[in-house]
Amino acid sequence: MEHVKCLIIGSGPAGFTAAIYASRANLDPVLYEGIEPGGQLTTTTEIENFPGYPEGIDGSAMMNDLRRQAARFGADIRSGIVTEADLSSRPFRLKIDGGKEIAAETLIVATGATARYLGLPSETKYRGMGVSACATCDGFFYRKQDVAVVGGGDTACEEATYLASICRHVYMIVRKPFLRASKAMQERVFATPNIEVLFEHNTVEVLGDDDGVTGALLRRNDGEERTIDITGFFLAIGHHPNTDLFKGQLELDDEGYIKVAGATSKTNVEGVFAAGDVKDPQYRQAITAAGSGCIAAIDCERFLLAQK
Ligand code: NDP
């Protein structure tokens, strides 16, 4: 069985930053990229708030830069998904893609979070046929058509604004009488003439036929129902932390995020550290994820030093 000093799971800003620091500290890290190589930022367009890019940068391009930087210092970056984890004793035992086993002295969990869906049967039925949780990935298919985005946070505003640049009309379906997004994002939405915000509306069903989505049945909070004609239905209602692998082993909060000790990356299992969105329900920014990846690598290095 392969034995590694430091195993990193996840390839978003947290995982790659941890890999940069861990390789520079001679921990010879092995990083498994997981289900979504490059993480959530590969599904976004322009990143304008990551320091060091005064003109902004494309999400995938930025993740490529981080990947190359980690590789430059010798991080062993592999494609593959960790499918099992036994954290009951050290070295921890992990299974990759249901087969290969690895023994790891330490583990940095940077598995991120995944988009949430409303849970409607019709939404599942039309997933990939008009229903999507990533406007920047799929918006192009709905060029010059009418679409809807569900949610009132920064993601929803960002996606609605992006869709408005390629689609004819964009409805925002918002369950509250206000947007939760930052003021700058809200202003952008309200200044975009082809975005129509439907406050206090919920989706009852996604409507469709054999070719995919044709509309959505909405209910206003006062009970009034209406149908909108759309071909694309985009979810932007938040995320679910990718911690299923660690249930019963790592201490999680009520929403499933990994609990860490104070400002450190230390989990309840010695030698296991968490970084990025998987432990952060609050800030969830690329820069905070990168910062926490750095913290995890330093915690990991100090832990290994103390074992000697
Ligand atoms: P948020 O949790 O901020 O917002 C989720 C939105 O979806 C809210 O409007 C919420 O409504 C709504 N919602 C949740 N569940 C349902 C449901 N079942 N039915 C209808 N609506 C629902 O998630 P985001 O993904 O927007 O943002 C996550 C974090 O990432 C935030 O901290 C955000 O600031 C940050 N972010 C920053 C960006 C940037 O700076 N460029 C870009 C994107 C995200 P309600 O308000 O009623 O709870």
pTM reported for the whole predicted model? 0.76
Same-domain status, 216 and 198: yes
Cβ of 176 closer than 6 Å to ligand 1, yes or no, is yes
Cβ of 238 closer than 6 Å to ligand 1, yes or no, is yes
**Residue 194: per-residue pLDDT:** 98
**Residue 44: per-residue pLDDT:** 64
Cβ of 63 closer than 6 Å to ligand 1, yes or no, is no
**Residue 46: per-residue pLDDT:** 73
CA distance 66 to 203: 39
Which of the residues 138, 154, 277, 299 is marked catalytic?
138
Tell me how far the alpha carbon of residue 174 lies from the centroid of ligand 1, in angstroms: 10
pLDDT digits (tens, 9 = 90+) for 1-37: 999 999 999 999 999 999 999 999 999 999 999 988 8
CA distance 210 to 219: 24
Who's near 65: CB < 8 A, 6+ residues apart?
57
- Residues of the domain holding 269: 2-114+239-307
Same-domain status, 59 and 168: no
**Residue 41: per-residue pLDDT:** 81
Tell me how far the alpha carbon of residue 157 lies from the centroid of ligand 1, in angstroms: 9
**Residue 278: per-residue pLDDT:** 97
Cβ of 150 closer than 6 Å to ligand 1, yes or no, is yes
Same-domain status, 73 and 135: no
SS3 of residue 98 by DSSP: coil
SS3 of residue 101 by DSSP: strand
Same-domain status, 163 and 299: no
- Our answer to whether residue 222 is catalytic in this structure is no
- Our answer to whether residue 58 is catalytic in this structure is no
pLDDT digits (tens, 9 = 90+) for 94-109: 999 999 999 999 999 9
CA distance 96 to 34: 10
Residue 203's domain is classified under what CATH number?
3.50.50.60
Kindly report the protein residue whose alpha carbon is nearest to atom 28 of ligand 1. 238
Cβ of 59 closer than 6 Å to ligand 1, yes or no, is no
**Residue 115: per-residue pLDDT:** 84
Same-domain status, 136 and 161: yes
Same-domain status, 203 and 272: no
Cβ of 298 closer than 6 Å to ligand 1, yes or no, is no
SS3 of residue 91 by DSSP: coil
268-274-279 Cα angle (round to 5): 95
Positions in the chain short of pLDDT 70: 43-45
Same-domain status, 11 and 35: yes
If you average pLDDT over every residue of the chain, what do you get? 95
Instruction: Give the domain-ending residue among 189, 217, 235.
Output: 235
**Residue 225: per-residue pLDDT:** 98
Query: What is the DSSP track for 179-203?
Result: --S-HHHHHHHHT-TTEEEEETEEE
Query: Which of 274, 256, 234, 189 minimizes the C-alpha distance to 43?
Result: 234
- Our answer to whether residue 6 is catalytic in this structure is no
Tell me how far the alpha carbon of residue 17 lies from the centroid of ligand 1, in angstroms: 25
Give the DSSP letter of residue 66: H
Residues in the chain, overall count: 308
Tell me how far the alpha carbon of residue 237 lies from the centroid of ligand 1, in angstroms: 5
Same-domain status, 123 and 231: yes
**Residue 174: per-residue pLDDT:** 98
Same-domain status, 157 and 75: no
Same-domain status, 110 and 250: yes
Kindly report the protein residue whose alpha carbon is nearest to atom 29 of ligand 1. 284
Instruction: Give the domain-ending residue among 235, 256, 276.
Output: 235
Count structural domains, the chain: 2
Same-domain status, 81 and 139: no
Same-domain status, 103 and 153: no
CA distance 166 to 138: 11
Kindly report the protein residue whose alpha carbon is nearest to atom 5 of ligand 1. 237
Cβ of 158 closer than 6 Å to ligand 1, yes or no, is yes
Kindly report the protein residue whose alpha carbon is nearest to atom 7 of ligand 1. 237
At 170, list the tokens.
């964009």
Which of the residues 65, 76, 134, 294 is marked catalytic?
134
**Residue 47: per-residue pLDDT:** 81
Instruction: Give the domain-ending residue among 184, 218, 235.
Output: 235
Cβ of 198 closer than 6 Å to ligand 1, yes or no, is no
CA distance 287 to 277: 11
